Amino acid sequence: MTIRDAYDAAVVGAGPAGLAAATLCARAGLATVLFDEQPAAGGQIYRAAGTTPLRAGTILGDDYWRGRRLVADFAASGAQHVPGAAVWSLSREREIGVSLGGAARLVRAARVILATGAIERPFPIPGWTLPGVMTAGAAQILLKSAALVPAGRTVLAGSGPLLWLLARQYLEAGAEIAAILDTTPRANRRRALAHAPAFLASPYFAKGLALLRAVRRRVRVIGGVAALAAEGSGRLEAVRYAAARGEQRLPADLLLLHQGVVPNVNLAMAAGIAHRWDESQLCFVPERDAAGATALDGIAIAGDGGGIGGAEAAAEEGRLAAIAAIRALRPGADLGAEEIAARRSLARWRRGRRFLDALFRPAFVPPADETIVCRCEAVTAGEIAAAVDQGCTGPNQLKAFTRCGMGPCQGRLCGLTVTQLIAARRGVSPAEAGHYRLRPPVKPLTLGELAGLPAGNAAMKAVARD
Amino acid sequence: MFRRRPEAAPTLAIRVDGVAVPARAGESVAAAMLAAGLLRFRDAPAGGAPRGPYCMMGACFDCLVTIDGVGNRQACLETVREGMAVETQSGPRALAR
């Protein structure tokens, strides 16, 4: 594959936002490239939509199969697809550092659209590092991309739409679920009520209700669950939890955890884009305008990477960011009708989201002291609390105290927990506690790859922020 | 822990720590290992405890293995190839790999 030194438009991420954005840019005649880490287009929600071994119309549901259209439109658009690409930096000058097949290179673009999507919210419980404990999203990826279903005693635990969707897909696929342990705080129902009218009028209501009913009919669901813990020697053997009937122990071979998704912000933060704490979604979101534009010239963010809105909203945000990019590079391009259509559709898909945010907002309970918070460096909640008591004020200082957040995942699996832990311990807001200062490279890069870059100022700038 | 649905019948084989593991063209190394009942992918450099895939999307770095002699590859992001040699890891990546 020949990758050019420069493009009109570069898109990062091949989920709904990135696919829709790249498709529009390419159709408008912009030289467009889409970098994506996965082997096939679709992102996580439409993971393997064009390559899954599962037959269309079964198991995964109509929403998933709609992703095929996005993938097909993208494939026919003329945009260049670069799969298996790890984007590790983005400079203010819109120079992208990317590794492909063990070689790094720098690519410039007149417009950059970040569509890095979401990751699952960290779910630190005692024993969550044991083999046999995974996220619900991970299990769904195995179903979509490889047609794997659980064998043995499977427990789903946590909160949020994905947990229920996975349960139904597993039932359709002939897999058994021993129990769903629902951790949704009961008080959320009352808080969500204020947003109920919009939700009732939204596309999510009928779908959600049907989903809950279908799963509850066939699976044992235990509500009001707290104090989750995974137990086992070398691998998962049982799940412990507290519920109305007291402390329980459930033998298990597979525990799938989930408590919602949050923006995948590492690349945007490392590029120097300002982020703010979102109290309703309990995460950091980038500052951007209605078309996704950030304060950095020519760099926009579309989709869940800018705040969780779901797949359909993400695609419309991708289109709006693309329209802005096309107008900037092709003055006089008439995209008025497309813009109006995208805005209308976006408004429709945003309706009802605040209800979902409120209903599934996880309660922050500081993990028990022995719980590993930073999986990479095996730093526990107790060690973090001790560091705060010794005067550590925020996540950055915590690195020096404990190495927390300094492993290869670069805070993706601990960042939000650390922010909330420090905020709670210090009695300040998560916004004041802040987040790790992220720097490029945001994915591990070998010295050999770095040394293989063309030498020069640009290469230096790509790895050293001024 | 996982089983293959009929659609996912293996089409090739990789080797994991010298043992043949069936795989289906197009799937990830992590999927092939999990389908074969292999849960431990490495012992963590920090703490030494066994680890396996957690996120399956390239974020958590707990599925690191050595592939064809190159250490610290993310098994969830690598697509299987006939004859691929996978080694589980113990501790940090060796400097020479």
Contacts of B53 in chain A (CB under 8 A): 134, 138
CA distance A394 to A415: 11
Q: Report yes or no on B6 lying in a domain.
A: no
Q: Is the pLDDT of residue A96 over 90?
A: yes
Residue A56: the pLDDT is 75
Q: Report yes or no on B48 lying in a domain.
A: yes
Of A51, A84, A148, the CB nearest to B34: A148
Question: Is B55–A135 a contact, with Cβ atoms under 8 angstroms apart?
Answer: yes
B40 to chain A, any CB pair closer than 8 A? The answer is: yes
Of B41, B44, B77, the CB nearest to A378: B44
Contacts of B40 in chain A (CB under 8 A): 131, 234-235
Q: Is the pLDDT of residue B75 over 70?
A: yes
Instruction: Answer with the residue of higher pLDDT: A447 or A57.
Output: A447
Residue A31: the pLDDT is 98
* Shortest Cα–Cα distance, A422 to chain B (Å): 22
Average pLDDT in chain A:
95
Crossing angle of helices A381-389 and A415-426, rounded to 10°: 40
- A residues 257-286 near B, CB within 8 Å? 264
Give the model confidence (pLDDT) of A350-373 as tens digits. Answer: 999 999 999 999 999 999 999 999
Structure tokens at A97: 């550092």
Residue A149: the pLDDT is 98
Question: Is B26–A378 a contact, with Cβ atoms under 8 angstroms apart?
Answer: no
Q: How confident is the model at residue A420 (pLDDT cuts 50, 70, 90)?
A: very high
DSSP letters spanning B26-50: TSBHHHHHHHTT----EE-TTT--E
Q: Report yes or no on B97 lying in a domain.
A: no
Burial A278-305, CB ≥16 within 10 A → b, else e:
beebbbbbbebeebbbbebebbbbbbbb
B57 to chain A, any CB pair closer than 8 A? The answer is: yes
Q: How confident is the model at residue A57 (pLDDT cuts 50, 70, 90)?
A: confident
A152 to chain B, any CB pair closer than 8 A? The answer is: yes
| Residue span of the structural domain in which B50 resides | 11-88
Contacts of B23 in chain A (CB under 8 A): none
Q: Is the pLDDT of residue A53 over 90?
A: yes
Q: Report yes or no on B66 lying in a domain.
A: yes
At B16, give phi and psi (nearest 5°): -120, 115
CA distance A327 to A397: 43
Cβ atoms of A436 and A415 closer than 8 Å:
yes
Q: How far apart are the first and last CA of chain B?
A: 31
Structural domains of chain B, count? 1
Residue with tokens 């790094």: A104
Nearest CA in chain B to A254: B1
Provide, rounded to the nearest whole percent, the portion of chain A with pLDDT above 90. 92
Give the model confidence (pLDDT) of A383-394 as tens digits. Answer: 999 999 999 999
Question: Is B3–A148 a contact, with Cβ atoms under 8 angstroms apart?
Answer: yes
B93 to chain A, any CB pair closer than 8 A? The answer is: no
Instruction: Say how far residue A145 (Cα) sits from the centre of its chain.
Output: 18
Contacts of B74 in chain A (CB under 8 A): none
Give the model confidence (pLDDT) of B20-61 as tens digits. Answer: 999 999 999 999 999 999 999 999 999 999 999 999 999 999
Question: DSSP assignment, residue B55?
Answer: S
Q: How confident is the model at residue A462 (pLDDT cuts 50, 70, 90)?
A: low
Give the model confidence (pLDDT) of A130-145 as tens digits. Answer: 999 999 999 999 999 9
**3-class SS at B3?**
strand
A176 to chain B, any CB pair closer than 8 A? The answer is: no
Residue A232: the pLDDT is 98
Q: Report yes or no on B35 lying in a domain.
A: yes
Q: Is the pLDDT of residue A457 over 70?
A: no
**3-class SS at A51?**
coil
Residue B92: the pLDDT is 83
Mean pLDDT of A56-67: 87
Q: Is the pLDDT of residue A466 over 60?
A: no
Q: Is the pLDDT of residue A460 over 70?
A: no
Mean pLDDT of B67-93: 95
Cβ atoms of B13 and B23 closer than 8 Å:
yes
- Sheet strands (E) in A173-282: 179-182, 221-222, 226-231, 238-243, 246-251, 254-259, 261-263, 275-278
Structure tokens at B59: 């974020």
Give the model confidence (pLDDT) of A147-172 as tens digits. Answer: 999 999 999 999 999 999 999 999 99
Q: Report yes or no on B94 lying in a domain.
A: no
Q: How confident is the model at residue B97 (pLDDT cuts 50, 70, 90)?
A: confident
Nearest CA in chain B to A413: B60
- Considering just the CA atoms, what is the radius of gyration of chain B in Å? 13
Give the model confidence (pLDDT) of A299-317 as tens digits. Answer: 999 999 999 999 999 999 9
pTM of the model: 0.96
Residue A465: the pLDDT is 58
Give the model confidence (pLDDT) of A192-231 as tens digits. Answer: 999 999 999 999 999 999 999 999 999 999 999 999 999 9
Contacts of A131 in chain B (CB under 8 A): 39-41, 50-52
Q: Confirm whether the ipTM is greater than 0.90.
A: yes
Residue A461: the pLDDT is 65
Q: How confident is the model at residue A456 (pLDDT cuts 50, 70, 90)?
A: low
Cβ atoms of A232 and A130 closer than 8 Å:
yes
Residue A226 makes CB contacts below 8 A (sequence gap 6+) with A183, A241, A242, A243, A365
Residue with tokens 């459930």: A250
Q: What is the CATH number of the domain that holds B43?
A: 3.10.20.440
Sign, CA torsion B24/B25/B26/B28: positive
- B residues 58-87 near A, CB within 8 Å? 58-62, 64, 70, 72, 76-77, 79
Provide, rounded to the nearest whole percent, the portion of chain A with pLDDT above 70. 97
Other beta carbons less than 10 A from residue A464's beta carbon: 11
Bridge partners, A335 (sequence order): none
Q: Report yes or no on B2 lying in a domain.
A: no
